[in-house]
Amino acid sequence: MPAPSTPLRKLGFLTIGLFDEADPRAGHESTLDIIALGEQLGFDSAWVRHRHLQYGISSPVAVLAAASQRTSRIELGTAVTPLGWENPLRLAEDLATVDILSGGRLNPGVSVGPPTRDDSVMRSLYPDTADAEDFDYSRLRRLLDFVRGAPASDFDGVKGMEAFSERVQPHSPGLASRMWYGAGSLRSARWAGEQGMNLLTSSVVKAEESTDFAEVQLSQIRAFRALHPDGDRARVSQGLVVIPTDSATPSQRARYEEYSRQRMPRTMSTHGPSRVMFAPDIVGPAEVIAERLYAHAAFREVTEVAFALPFTFEHADYVQILTDMATRLGPLLGWHPAS
């Protein structure tokens, strides 16, 4: 295994937070327990996906508010919140509130574009204004402005017995520096760099210049940093699906390998007009995973990761995977658990 040229600085994980429709509390409690376990194991960050009208976390800000009260150190993020479903002013209020409650640990990750399956939900979301809504970067610019403290109102003062602010309250001064953009294309990566945001790059990209996943991801990372005010120091977090099997039982190991085998065909070609590409899952002992990561051109460009947990596994599987990540894989990548 090659020695790391730069040690991994931050180790995180991402979960979708699945639940049973007949007993949704159990699934949400499982997610909160997993986040608490992550803190105990020394992970630097825990991230939750955003799923609407599905059996995953539909309100990550609410879940992370709960997580903030069960943890004290681990950073809490969304990867990602699709802004087509959100009002930027209201979201800015929620994000600032949770950031204050967490002691400045929130890392909101967002993306732009119309709501997924917009033809089936648009009448419920925007019954009278769908044609006038901005689903492009301007929607995100509004959110960034509000988070940064730009006026949201033209009145600041007292009316009657109530005091009003022109900007979002509470205001959390450090939150703006912890805003992330989930990019899968060169255009999005460049835009995020120009705005001074942080970059989330995942196991899904658009094959614009190559059909080699690592090369595509590397190109996006470099394009982002080329336009970011911080240059090569700009923060990038990579989010591949990584499943260490060191302490897995034989039945767990067999299920993990079958899960990866079933998903492998989608990684063999591009998909649709946008030429979407998926990265293969990385399954195996920690030493094998470390070797594959060091051979990944984009991984060698980052010092932060948020490895994605598979969607459909059981709570005990996540405990085993996270424990192996923190105790076996992380040290092989030069990472040290947070105290």
Distance CA 238, CA 151 (A): 34
Residue 57, pLDDT score: 97
List the one residue out of 230, 217, 240, 219 whose CA is nearest residue 307.
Answer: 240
Amino acid code (one letter) for 126: Y
Q: How does pLDDT run across 69-85, given as a tens digit for each residue?
A: 999 999 999 999 999 99
Domain ranges of the chain: 10-122+132-332
Contacts 24+ apart (CB under 8 A), 249-252: 252/317, 252/320
Name the CATH superfamily, with its identifier, for domain 10-122+132-332: Luciferase-like domain (3.20.20.30)
Give the global pTM.
Answer: 0.96
Residue with tokens 């977090």: 237
Residue 2, pLDDT score: 45
Residue 4, pLDDT score: 59
Distance CA 339, CA 337 (A): 6
Distance CA 265, CA 278 (A): 10
> What are the residues whose beta carbons fall under 8 Å from the beta carbon of 81, sequence distance 6 or more?
50, 60, 61, 91, 108, 109, 110, 111
Distance CA 68, CA 222 (A): 33
pLDDT beneath 70, residues of the chain: 1-5
Q: How far is CA 251 from CA 30, 280, 317, in A?
A: 22, 21, 11
Residue 5, pLDDT score: 66
> Three-state SS across 167-208?
CCCCCCCCHHHHCEEECCCHHHHHHHHHCCCEEEEECEEECC
Hey, which residues does 206 pair with through a beta bridge? Answer: 276
Whether 231 and 213 have beta carbons less than 8 Å apart is answered as: no
Q: How does pLDDT run across 295-335, given as a tens digit for each residue?
A: 999 999 999 999 999 999 999 999 999 999 999 999 999 99
Pairing mode of beta strands 157-159, 162-164: antiparallel
Residue 118, pLDDT score: 77
